[in-house]
C-alpha cells in the first residue's frame, strides 16, 4: 500500500480505500481484525509484567540525592571503608524496595480503575454491529457513529446524515463542523476536509458510517502527540513542585554550611562530605512521591467502594479542595428518570393526535439516544402498524429539535419535536382542538402563558409541530412554515433525600449551583424543591448582556442558571473559579467544555464517550450523595499527604540546624553518616502507613488547601523547637554526662529517632494527640521502630554501626528529654494550628 496516499486519504472516494484496505461496507470479519491487530503489534503490545516492575524499581533511584548517595558509596568503596559501603547500600536498597512494593500495589489499583472506563466504539464485524474497545480498532474497520461518540481513529466518511463533529482540539474552531461524503483535493486545509473524521474529536449531532484508514501513532492526533504533548498540572502537583524547590534550596545551603564548618574544624574530608550528604538525604522528603502515589491510590480504592471511579489520580487532591459543586438538575437534584405526564394540544387538552405524532417521532429516531425519546417509546399505543420512515434530520445543539419524515399511506408528514422557542420559530400556523388550522400569531400569547404555567408546575414542556411534505427527501431547509400542534409534558421528580444531601454538602462547606437548559419557571420550581426560599436565577439571554467582571460577582450570588446554552456553561464555570474551587458534574455532550473548564470534572458511567473522556471522575451512580463521600475521601487523602510533609520538614530541618550549631564546638561528628541514613530508614517504616491513617472529622469538614506559607511557618516553628531539644541533648550528653564520642552519637541517634516517631502522633491531629485515635498500622510500625531503636545499641553488630550500649542514666536522660519534647510539642501544635486557623478566617 502506498503510505503517502494513506497520509492524504481524503483525496479518494470510499471505494478506492475499500479496495486498498481489503474491506467492504459490511466491515471486516473477526478473524481479519484479529490478524491485523496482531500484525500491527504496536496496538496490542504491552510491556511484560517483569519489565514494568523492573522499570518501576529503577525509578526509585532517580532522585538526584539518592544518586549522589550511591556515588558516595562508590567513593567509600574506593577508599576502602567497606562497612559504610554495605550499611548505607543496604539501607538505600531496603528503603527503595519498600517504596517499590507500595507503588506497585498503587499502580495495580490505577490499572483496574482505568479498565473499568475503557472507551468502546460500534464497529461492523462479520456485517453485524458490535461494541469493541477503541484500542482494538484496525485499518479497514467500519465504524458507526452517533452523537456523543468519541472518534478513535482517522476515518473516511462512507455515509453521513446531518453529521456534525467538534474538531476544536485540532483546529481551535469551537463551532461544530458539518461532515459529508465525497473527496477533497490533496492540498485541502485541515478545517475543510469535510469527508474525514479525526481521532480525538467527537460527534456532536447526526449519524454516520466511516472507514478506518489510520490508527495509533499514524493518526493526525498521534503525530501531534509524538511531536510534543502537553501535561496538565493539578493545583496539588504544582504545590508539591514548589515545595520541592523550596526545600532543595534550604537543604543545599545548610549542607554546604555544615560541610565548610566541619572542614574548617580539620575533620576528615571524606567523613565531612559523607556527613553533609547524609544530612541532605535526611532532610529530603524522599518518600514524598511514594506517599502521594500510595495515598491517592488508597483513596481511589476507597472511592471505588463508594461507586466513584478515579480517572486521573492526581485529581483526588483537587477534589479535597472543592468548595462549590455545579451540576445540571437532571439526575442530580431530580431522579433522572423522565416519564410522560401528559400530551396536550395547543389548548391544553389531552390529545391522541399529539400522542401519535410524538410516538412516531421518538420511535424512528436513530441519532442521539436520550431519556425523552425512551420515555415516549414506552407509552402504550393502539396495536396499529407504524408508518414508513422516509427521512430524518437528527437533533443538534444549534437547532435544538429532531425532525422525522413518515409516509402514513395517505400523506407524507414531517414531524418536529424540540425546545419551545426553536419550535415556535418555525411555525406559522396552529392546529386547535377542533382540528381547525389557523394563523399562529393571534394565539402566540396564550400558548406562551400555557408554556410558562407548565414550568411553574415543575413540568418540562417539549413542543411539537408538523407539516405535509411533497417529496421523500428531507433536509433542514424543510423545517419552515410548520403547524404548531401541542406539548409533550414530562416529569422528572425530585430525588428522595436531596434536601438532606444538600445539607450534607453545606456541612462540608460545599455550595451547590444548578446550571440547566430548562426554562426559568422550571428552575424556580426546582429551587423551591431544594429548600431555597427565594432562589436567585440568571438566564442564558441575560448572560449575553453581562460583562466578565460583572458576571464574576453576580455568579457568586446566583443559585440557578437557567435557559443556558452549552457554550455559556464554560463561561459561568470560569467566572465562578475566581471565587471558588469548582467541581462540575455533567453527562451530556454539551457539558464537555464546562467539565474541562472546572477544577474537577465529574461525569457518570452512562454519559457520552467524549464526556467521560474529559472527566477526572466517573460516578457509577448519578447521585449527589455518592459525591459527598467522594469529597470526604479527597480530603482524607489530602490530610494524610500533608501529615508526611509536616513531619519530614519540621524534625529534619530542626536536626540540620542542630548539627550546624553542634559542628561549631564538637571535636567530632555528632552522628556518623551511616547513622543518619539508618535514622532516616527507621522513621520511614511507620511513615509509609500514614496513607491508611485515621483522619479527624475536623480535618474533613473543611476543604483542604495547599498553602506553602503554612508549611514554611510550620517548618520554622517546629524546626526551632526540635533544635532546642537537640541542643539540650548535646549539652546533657557532652557536659553533664561527659559522654565519649560513641556514647554521644548513640544518645543523639536514639533521641533523634524517638522524637521523629512521636512527632508523627502529635502532628497527625490538630488537637491534643491523646484525643485522636491513630491508625492501627501506624501504631504497630511505630512500636517496631521504637523497639528497634532502643535495642540496636545492644546487638552484636552495633559496633559496625558506630553504636555503643548506653548506661542506664544516659538512656534515662534521653527518655526524659523525649517526654519533655512530646508535652511541649503537643502544646505548641495546638497553639500553632489555632493561630493559623484564626489568621486564615480573618483574611477570608
Catalytic residues, by residue number, are: 328
- What is Dmax (Cα atoms) for the chain? 113
Residue 549 φ/ψ, nearest 5 degrees: -65, -45
Angle of helix 741-763 relative to helix 708-731, nearest 10 degrees? 150
Q: How far apart are CA 553 and CA 576, in angstroms?
A: 9
Instruction: For residue 480, count other CB atoms closer than 10 A to its CB.
Output: 11
C-alpha grid cell, residue 315: 485529581
Contacts of 393 (CB under 8 A, 6+ apart): 162, 402, 403, 404, 474, 475, 476, 478, 479
N-term to C-term CA, the chain: 66
Q: In whole angstroms, how far apart are CA 512 and each of 506, 553, 593?
A: 8, 16, 19
Task: Give the pairing type, strands 120-125 and 128-133.
Answer: antiparallel
Per DSSP, 782 falls in state H
C-alpha grid cell, residue 68: 549522589
Element (H, E) at 594: helix 592-597
Taking the CA of residue 633 as centre, how many other CA atoms within 13 Å lie in the half-sphere pointing to its CB? Answer: 26
Q: Which long-range contacts (CB under 8 A, 24 or more apart) does 473-479 make?
A: 473/391, 474/390, 474/391, 474/392, 474/393, 474/403, 474/405, 474/414, 475/393, 476/162, 476/393, 476/399, 478/393, 478/403, 478/414, 479/393, 479/399, 479/401, 479/403, 479/414, 479/416, 479/426
Q: How far apart are CA 16 and CA 22, in angstroms?
A: 10
Q: Give the three-state DSSP class for 678.
A: helix
Contacts of 122 (CB under 8 A, 6+ apart): 129, 130, 131, 143, 144, 145, 146, 149
Task: Assess contact for 599 and 582: CB atoms under 8 A.
Answer: yes
Element (H, E) at 717: helix 708-731
Q: In whole angstroms, how far apart are CA 388 and each of 207, 309, 405, 473, 605?
A: 19, 44, 9, 13, 35
Question: Which DSSP string do the residues of 625-647 spell out, in sequence order?
Answer: HHHHHHHHHHHHHHHHHHHHHHH
Question: Which DSSP string do the residues of 244-308 spell out, in sequence order?
Answer: HHHHHHHHHHHHHHHHHHHHHTT--HHHHHHHHHHHHHHHS-TTHHHHHHHHHHHHHHHHHHTTE
Residue given cell 558506630 in the structure block? 802
Amino acid at each position: 500500500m502506498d503510505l503517502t496516499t494513506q497520509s492524504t486519504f481524503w483525496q479518494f472516494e470510499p471505494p478506492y480505500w475499500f479496495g486498498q484496505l481489503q474491506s467492504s461496507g459490511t466491515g471486516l470479519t473477526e478473524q481479519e481484525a484479529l490478524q491485523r491487530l496482531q500484525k500491527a503489534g504496536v496496538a496490542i503490545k504491552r510491556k511484560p509484567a517483569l519489565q514494568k516492575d523492573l522499570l518501576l524499581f529503577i525509578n526509585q533511584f532517580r532522585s538526584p540525592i539518592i544518586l549522589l548517595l550511591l556515588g558516595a558509596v562508590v567513593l567509600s568503596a574506593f577508599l576502602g571503608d567497606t562497612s559504610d559501603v554495605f550499611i548505607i547500600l543496604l539501607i538505600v536498597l531496603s528503603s527503595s524496595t519498600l517504596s517499590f512494593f507500595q507503588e506497585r500495589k498503587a499502580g495495580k489499583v490505577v490499572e483496574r480503575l482505568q479498565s473499568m472506563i475503557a472507551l468502546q466504539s460500534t464497529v461492523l464485524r462479520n456485517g453485524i454491529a458490535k461494541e469493541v474497545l477503541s484500542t482494538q480498532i484496525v485499518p479497514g474497520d467500519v465504524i458507526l457513529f452517533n452523537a456523543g461518540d468519541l472518534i478513535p481513529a482517522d476515518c473516511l466518511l462512507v455515509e453521513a446524515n446531518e453529521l456534525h463533529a467538534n474538531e476544536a482540539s485540532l483546529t481551535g474552531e469551537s463551532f461544530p463542523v458539518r461532515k459529508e461524503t465525497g473527496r477533497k483535493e490533496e492540498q485541502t486545509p485541515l478545517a475543510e476536509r469535510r469527508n474525514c473524521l479525526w481521532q480525538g474529536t467527537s460527534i456532536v449531532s447526526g449519524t454516520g458510517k466511516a472507514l478506518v484508514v489510520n490508527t495509533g501513532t499514524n493518526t493526525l492526533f498521534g503525530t501531534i502527540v509524538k511531536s510534543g504533548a502537553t501535561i496538565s498540572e493539578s493545583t496539588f502537583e504544582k504545590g508539591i513542585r514548589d515545595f520541592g524547590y523550596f526545600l532543595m534550596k534550604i537543604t543545599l545551603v545548610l549542607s554546604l554550611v555544615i560541610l565548610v564548618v566541619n572542614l574548617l574544624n580539620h575533620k576528615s574530608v571524606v567523613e565531612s562530605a559523607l556527613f553533609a550528604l547524609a544530612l541532605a538525604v535526611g532532610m529530603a522528603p524522599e518518600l514524598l512521591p511514594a506517599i502521594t502515589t500510595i495515598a491517592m491510590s488508597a483513596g481511589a480504592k476507597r472511592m471505588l467502594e463508594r461507586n466513584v471511579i478515579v480517572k486521573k489520580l492526581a485529581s483526588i487532591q483537587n477534589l479535597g479542595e472543592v468548595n462549590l459543586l455545579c451540576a445540571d438538575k437532571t439526575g442530580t437534584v431530580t431522579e433522572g428518570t423522565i416519564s410522560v405526564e401528559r400530551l396536550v394540544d395547543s389548548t391544553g387538552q389531552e390529545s391522541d393526535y399529539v400522542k401519535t405524532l410524538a410516538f412516531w417521532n421518538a420511535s424512528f429516531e436513530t441519532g442521539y439516544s436520550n431519556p425523552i425519546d425512551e420515555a415516549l417509546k414506552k407509552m402504550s399505543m393502539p396495536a396499529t402498524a407504524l408508518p414508513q420512515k422516509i427521512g430524518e434530520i437528527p437533533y443538534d445543539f444549534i437547532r435544538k429539535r429532531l425532525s422525522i419524515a413518515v409516509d402514513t399511506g395517505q400523506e407524507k408528514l414531517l414531524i418536529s419535536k424540540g425546545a419551545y422557542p426553536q419550535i415556535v420559530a418555525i411555525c406559522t400556523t396552529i392546529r386547535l382542538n377542533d382540528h381547525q388550522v389557523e394563523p399562529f400569531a393571534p394565539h402566540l400569547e396564550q400558548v406562551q402563558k400555557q408554556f410558562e404555567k407548565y414550568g411553574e408546575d415543575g413540568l418540562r414542556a417539549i413542543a411539537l409541530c408538523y407539516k405535509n411534505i411533497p417529496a421523500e427527501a428531507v433536509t433542514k431547509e424543510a423545517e419552515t412554515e410548520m403547524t404548531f400542534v401541542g406539548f409533550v409534558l414530562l416529569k422528572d421528580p425530585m430525588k428522595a433525600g436531596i434536601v438532606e444531601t444538600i445539607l450534607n454538602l453545606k456541612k462540608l462547606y460545599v455550595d451547590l449551583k444548578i446550571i440547566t437548559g430548562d426554562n426559568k419557571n422550571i428552575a424556580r420550581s426546582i429551587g423551591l424543591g431544594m429548600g431555597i426560599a427565594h432562589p436567585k436565577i440568571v438566564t442564558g439571554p441575560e448572560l449575553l448582556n453581562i460583562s466578565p467582571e460583572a458576571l464574576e460577582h453576580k455568579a457568586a450570588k446566583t443559585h440557578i442558571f437557567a435557559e443556558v446554552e452549552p457554550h455559556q456553561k464554560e463561561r459561568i464555570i470560569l467566572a465562578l473559579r475566581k471565587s471558588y474551587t469548582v467541581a462540575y458534574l455533567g453527562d451530556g455532550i454539551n457539558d464537555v467544555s464546562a467539565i474541562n473548564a472546572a477544577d474537577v470534572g465529574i461525569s457518570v458511567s452512562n454519559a457520552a464517550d467524549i464526556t467521560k473522556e474529559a472527566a477526572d471522575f466517573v460516578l457509577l451512580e448519578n447521585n449527589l450523595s455518592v459525591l459527598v463521600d467522594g469529597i470526604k475521601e479527597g480530603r482524607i487523602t489530602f490530610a494524610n499527604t500533608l501529615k508526611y510533609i509536616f513531619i519530614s520538614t519540621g524534625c529534619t530541618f530542626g536536626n540540620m540546624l542542630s548539627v550546624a550549631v553542634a559542628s561549631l564546638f564538637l571535636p567530632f561528628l555528632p552522628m556518623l553518616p551511616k547513622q543518619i541514613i539508618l535514622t532516616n530508614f527507621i522513621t520511614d517504616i511507620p511513615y509509609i502507613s500514614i496513607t491508611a491513617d485515621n483522619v479527624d472529622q475536623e480535618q474533613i469538614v473543611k476543604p483542604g488547601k495547599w498553602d506553602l506559607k503554612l508549611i514554611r511557618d510550620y517548618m520554622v516553628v517546629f524546626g526551632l523547637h526540635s533544635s532546642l531539644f537537640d541542643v539540650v541533648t548535646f549539652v546533657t550528653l557532652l557536659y553533664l554526662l561527659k559522654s565519649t564520642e560513641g556514647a554521644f552519637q548513640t544518645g543523639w541517634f536514639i533521641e533523634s529517632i524517638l522524637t521523629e516517631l512521636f512527632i508523627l502522633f502529635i502532628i497527625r491531629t490538630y488537637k491534643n494527640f491523646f484525643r485522636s485515635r491513630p491508625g492501627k498500622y501506624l501504631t504497630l510500625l511505630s512500636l517496631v521502630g521504637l523497639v528497634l531503636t532502643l535495642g540496636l545499641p545492644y546487638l552484636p553488630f552495633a559496633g559496625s554501626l558506630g553504636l555503643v550500649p548506653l548506661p542506664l542514666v544516659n538512656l534515662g536522660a534521653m527518655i526524659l528529654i523525649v517526654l519533655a519534647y512530646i508535652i511541649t510539642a503537643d502544646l505548641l501544635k495546638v497553639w500553632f494550628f489555632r493561630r493559623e486557623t484564626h489568621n486564615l478566617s480573618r483574611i477570608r
